Amino acid sequence: MIARRAILIRLPRDKCDVNYIRRLMALTNLAHRGFEVWVPDLPKSIQYQIYGFKSYKNSLMFGTAPKRWFAKTWVPLKTLRVYGDGTRKGATDALVILDFKKNVIKIHQVCKNEPGYSIEVPMPRWVVERVNEGGDIKYAMIGLKNDKPYLALVAERVVEPYVPSGCRLVVDVNAWNNGVAYGIINPSNKIAEYSPLRPNLRLIDTWYHKAEKLSKKLGKLKRLGLDSTPEAKGLRREIKALRRKVYAYLRDFAQKKAHELVMKALRLRAEVLIDDMIEESRRELLEMKLPRGLRKVYLAETRRFVKLFTTQLQWYGVPYEFKRLPSTVCPICGHKLIQERGRVMACTNCGFKAPRDKVPIHWALKAMPKAKVSPLDESPMPLGSTATHEPTPIAHVGEVEAPRRNT
């Protein structure tokens, strides 16, 4: 099985020609649709690379064909990897060069339409970690996101899922106000660990309500015709900064917790069950009659969490599946549960009682057959173990700066 992960690296705007990159993206869109348009003032080396990807799995890069003519389609590029011992790997005509000896990434001819033009950016630590885990950065893409230039690096790795040790990690994905609950079921079919993962809701609510208060103040200025004053412009900047802070915090929280759960599953060699019921969480938020903006905040980055989680599970070869695990039906007798104060679910028929987010863990206990135990290792590592997944390191790849946004 081939697993892939990607990272977005923001490029310096003062060193990139946005209009030139936009032209390359338009050519890529045409190539997706089977057209070849040769532009006289563009380097042939770039156009050869664009059309060289046409027949690769029916798309230029691992995505799908654009649905609209003017869709923003990123430009696919080959890479050349230069390691610390002098060895080279990849296409000799590549326009993106990963120099592990100098810890830089060199990008030629795709940032500005000038002969021999190139820029260098620091290599993220993310790249070194993926290579040390046995991956390879074969492909790259360049494009615009919110009119800002980015370079995307795609790591690829061949991996086979391991045989589960008998442990199961059950993950119940909810809105952030309730958190992402997880439970660990040991080989003897008992709940060994349970915990909800929640961000700092008080901090999020403070930022949100402050932004809403400033928005009302800005609305008053607009109604008075003062929306062009320095005060109104300052309010817009402050509101934008607060909202950006909320989503950045949730994005970082989702990324961190997804990685922690993957490492926990890897350490225990567990099989993972995912109950992705975000729509049910949306209905619950509507029933709570929360403001529309706050509902949007509580659901923000939940899809990203699931995507990050499954991508990393695939990368490390952790077996997983999506499974519906009800939280409003009794796992003992099948009767409908009644929600009491504090989101505690109770059954009036058999007396079962548990927190709502823990009910899916009990369903996993009942519905799942006993997991197979690997003949190589009959017992998983203890839950309190501090051992981590240690891939075989590559000696000639050095440490570099911290990564930017990644999956």
Find the mean pLDDT for residues 15-36.
90
Q: How far is CA 296 from CA 12, 201, 246, in A?
A: 32, 14, 11
User: Hey, which residues does 80 pair with through a beta bridge?
Assistant: 90, 97
What is the spatial distance between Cα 4 and Cα 113, in angstroms, rounded to a whole number? 31
Among 35-39, 251-255, 362-366, the range with the most confident prediction by mean pLDDT is 251-255
Strand arrangement, sheet containing 271-276: 191-197, 180-185, 168-173, 271-276, 320-322
pLDDT beyond 60 at 380: no
Three-class secondary structure assignment of the chain: CEEEEEEEEECCHHHCCHHHHHHHHHHHHHHHCCCCCCCCCCCHHHHHHHHHCCCCCCCCCCCCCCCCCCCCCCEEEEEEEECCCCCEEECCCCCEEEECCCCEEEEECCCCCCCCCEEEEECEHHHHHHHHCCCEEEEEEEEEECCEEEEEEEEEEECCCCCCCCCEEEEEECCCCCCEEEEEECCCCCEEEEEEECCCHHHHHHHHHHHHHHHHHHHHHHHCCCCCCHHHHHHHHHHHHHHHHHHHHHHHHHHHHHHHHHHHHHHHCCEEEEEECHHHHHHHHHHCCCCHHHHHHHHCCHHHHHHHHHHHHHHHCCCEEECCCCCCECCCCCCECEEECCCEEECCCCCCEEEHHHHHHHHHHHHCCCCCCCCCCCCCCCCCCCCCCCCCCCCCCCCCECCCCEC
Find the mean pLDDT for residues 58-76.
76
- What is the tens place of the pLDDT at every residue in 390-399? 343 333 343 3
Average predicted confidence (pLDDT) for the chain: 85
pLDDT beyond 60 at 374: no
pLDDT of residue 367: 66
What is the spatial distance between Cα 400 and Cα 85, in angstroms, rounded to a whole number? 17
- What is the tens place of the pLDDT at every residue in 121-140? 999 999 999 999 999 998 89
Q: How confident is the model at residue 342 (pLDDT cuts 50, 70, 90)?
A: confident
**Nearest one of 80, 97, 95, 75 to 20, comparing CA atoms:** 75
Find the mean pLDDT for residues 108-117.
91
pLDDT beyond 50 at 64: yes
pLDDT beyond 50 at 59: yes
Domain ranges of the chain: 2-158, 168-197+258-367
Q: How confident is the model at residue 368 (pLDDT cuts 50, 70, 90)?
A: low
Residue linked to tokens 């310096």: 12
Find the mean pLDDT for residues 51-72.
71
Across 230-239, 261-270, 360-369, least confident range: 360-369
For 300, what's the count of Cα atoms within 13 Å in the CB-facing half-sphere? 22
pLDDT of residue 56: 57
Tokens of 309: 């989680």
**Nearest one of 405, 393, 403, 404 to 83, comparing CA atoms:** 393
- What is the tens place of the pLDDT at every residue in 246-278? 999 999 999 999 999 999 999 999 999 998 877
What is the spatial distance between Cα 23 and Cα 42, in angstroms, rounded to a whole number? 10
Q: Which CATH architecture has domain 168-197+258-367?
A: 2-Layer Sandwich (3.30)
> What percent of the chain has pLDDT above 90?
50
Find the mean pLDDT for residues 379-406.
40
Q: Are 241 and 220 in contact (CB under 8 A)?
A: no
pLDDT of residue 290: 85
Find the mean pLDDT for residues 206-232.
92
- What is the tens place of the pLDDT at every residue in 143-200? 999 899 999 999 999 998 888 888 999 999 988 988 899 999 988 888 889 999 999 9
Find the mean pLDDT for residues 31-48.
86
pLDDT of residue 373: 42
pTM of the complete model: 0.80
